[in-house]
């Protein structure tokens, strides 16, 4: 993990949050009310692997990672310029315009065409043509085979990855914990590739509005983290085992909005990553 400090772009007002929610629901993407760059090293590595170069002045921008995948942010989800990142390897998030402009200035001050196409695409082994999509309802084994063939590993890494994969497959089966030993959060990334569900990395989520110990303890009990919580909707980072109704009741037990009608969304996230993020929030509140 990089030792660089977390950089945060302040959230906008309630009207812009409402617009963010509306765009997220309309386009079926994740709303990100605040960009939090916690691991610039991992983000730089994924960018080098996956980004070829923009085809417009306002492309989608890298704002985080989810295992081997790149989280890309834009204020306009209808934009089609993903800087050459293949759709299967991209997690889309809608962000505020101000946050986009700040991130855009920062990104292009550091990024150079030498990192993108054509040199970068040859260096990383990215296919020059479109990637054949993963078949719907694929098994985890089929998704793994597809990933090992299509992901832009660096020179020599693909063969090493496939060798490790082969040694795992000779055991009692491949679970997410074993996969995460190969690449962090690879298990969740494969589930996203198979199902197309909303997903996100808790490390890139905004800080908690409520940072008291009781709130953190409640979230740890439920293994969940609020990505966005407003009077109109809530996007919860959690896995498939979390009871959203029970979580909402506990979360709003002392809330003035309890009983108000609101939309609740499950955004898949790795349980261990959620607990690690909550530990970071506890340390942050303890420093105050």
The answer on 112 and 17 residing in a single domain is yes
Spatial separation of the C-alpha atoms in residues 245 and 258, rounded to whole Å: 12
Looking at residue 113, what DSSP letter applies?
A: G
What pLDDT sits at residue 118? 39
Q: What SS3 class is residue 177? A: helix
The answer on 182 and 230 residing in a single domain is no
Q: Would you call the peptide bond into 229 cis, given omega within 30 degrees of 0 as the criterion?
A: no
In a domain, 61, yes or no: yes
> Is 70 exceeded by the pLDDT of residue 185?
yes
The answer on 111 and 19 residing in a single domain is yes
Neighbour count for residue 208 (Cβ, 10 Å): 19
- pTM (predicted TM-score): 0.86
The answer on 78 and 12 residing in a single domain is yes
In a domain, 201, yes or no: no
What pLDDT sits at residue 206? 93
> Is 50 exceeded by the pLDDT of residue 244?
yes
The answer on 213 and 170 residing in a single domain is no
Which of 124, 149, 178 terminates a domain? The answer is 124
Neighbour count for residue 205 (Cβ, 10 Å): 27
pLDDT tens readout for residues 4-25: 333 443 444 456 778 899 999 9
21's CB contacts (< 8 A; 6+ apart) are: 31, 228, 230, 232, 233
Token pair in block for residue 176: 């997410």
* Band of pLDDT at residue 131, cut at 50, 70 and 90: confident
The answer on 183 and 272 residing in a single domain is no
The answer on 276 and 227 residing in a single domain is yes
| Least confident among 63-77, 82-96, 168-182, 211-225 | 168-182
What pLDDT sits at residue 114? 52
Region 65-84: mean pLDDT is: 96
What pLDDT sits at residue 155? 78
The answer on 16 and 115 residing in a single domain is yes
pLDDT tens readout for residues 45-65: 899 889 999 999 999 999 999
Region 164-173: mean pLDDT is: 70
* Band of pLDDT at residue 218, cut at 50, 70 and 90: very high
For the chain, the average pLDDT equals 84
What pLDDT sits at residue 258? 53
In a domain, 105, yes or no: yes
Determine the Cα angle at 203 with ends 197 and 209, to 5°: 100
> Is 80 exceeded by the pLDDT of residue 90?
yes
In a domain, 133, yes or no: no
In a domain, 135, yes or no: no
> Is 70 exceeded by the pLDDT of residue 176?
yes
How far is the first Cα of the chain from the last one, in angstroms, to the nearest whole number? Answer: 24
Cα–Cα distances (Å) from 51 to 7, 127, 201, 261, in that order, read 22, 12, 19, 41
In a domain, 92, yes or no: yes
In a domain, 2, yes or no: no
Number of structural domains the chain divides into: 3
What pLDDT sits at residue 126? 54
Widest Cα–Cα separation across the chain = 57
In a domain, 99, yes or no: yes
What pLDDT sits at residue 121? 42
pLDDT tens readout for residues 91-117: 999 999 999 999 999 999 988 765 444
The answer on 116 and 51 residing in a single domain is yes
Provide the residue range defining the domain that includes 42.
7-124
The answer on 158 and 95 residing in a single domain is no
The answer on 275 and 227 residing in a single domain is yes
**CB 237, CB 202: distance < 8 Å:** yes
φ, ψ at 28 (rounded to 5°): 65, 40
Which of 159, 174, 195 terminates a domain? The answer is 195
The answer on 159 and 81 residing in a single domain is no
């Amino acid at each position: 993990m990089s030792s660089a400090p977390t950089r945060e772009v302040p959230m906008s007002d309630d009207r812009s949050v409402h617009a963010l929610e509306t765009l997220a629901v309309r386009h079926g993407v994740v709303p990100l009310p605040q960009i939090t760059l916690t691991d610039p090293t991992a983000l730089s590595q994924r960018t080098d692997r996956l980004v070829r170069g923009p085809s417009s002045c306002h492309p989608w921008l890298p704002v985080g990672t989810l295992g081997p995948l790149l989280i890309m942010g834009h204020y306009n989800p209808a934009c089609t310029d993903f800087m050459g990142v293949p759709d299967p390897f991209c997690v889309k998030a809608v962000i505020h315009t101000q946050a986009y402009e700040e991130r855009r200035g920062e990104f292009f001050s550091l990024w150079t065409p030498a990192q993108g196409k054509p040199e970068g695409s040859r260096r990383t082994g990215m296919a020059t043509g479109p990637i054949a999509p993963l078949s719907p309802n694929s098994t985890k084994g089929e998704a793994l085979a597809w990933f090992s063939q299509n992901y832009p590993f660096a020179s020599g890494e693909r063969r090493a990855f496939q060798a490790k994969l082969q040694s795992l497959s000779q055991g009692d089966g491949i679970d997410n914990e074993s996969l995460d030993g190969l690449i962090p959060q690879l298990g969740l990334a494969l589930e996203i590739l198979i199902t197309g569900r909303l997903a996100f990395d808790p490390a890139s989520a905004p800080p908690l509005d409520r940072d008291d110990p009781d709130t953190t303890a409640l979230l740890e009990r439920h293994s969940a983290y609020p990505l966005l919580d407003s009077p109109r909707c809530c996007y919860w980072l959690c896995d498939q085992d979390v009871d959203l109704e029970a979580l909402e009741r506990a979360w709003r037990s002392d809330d003035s909005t309890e009983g108000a009608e609101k939309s609740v969304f499950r955004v898949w996230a790795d349980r261990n990553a959620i607990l690690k993020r909550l530990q970071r929030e506890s340390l942050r509140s303890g420093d105050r």
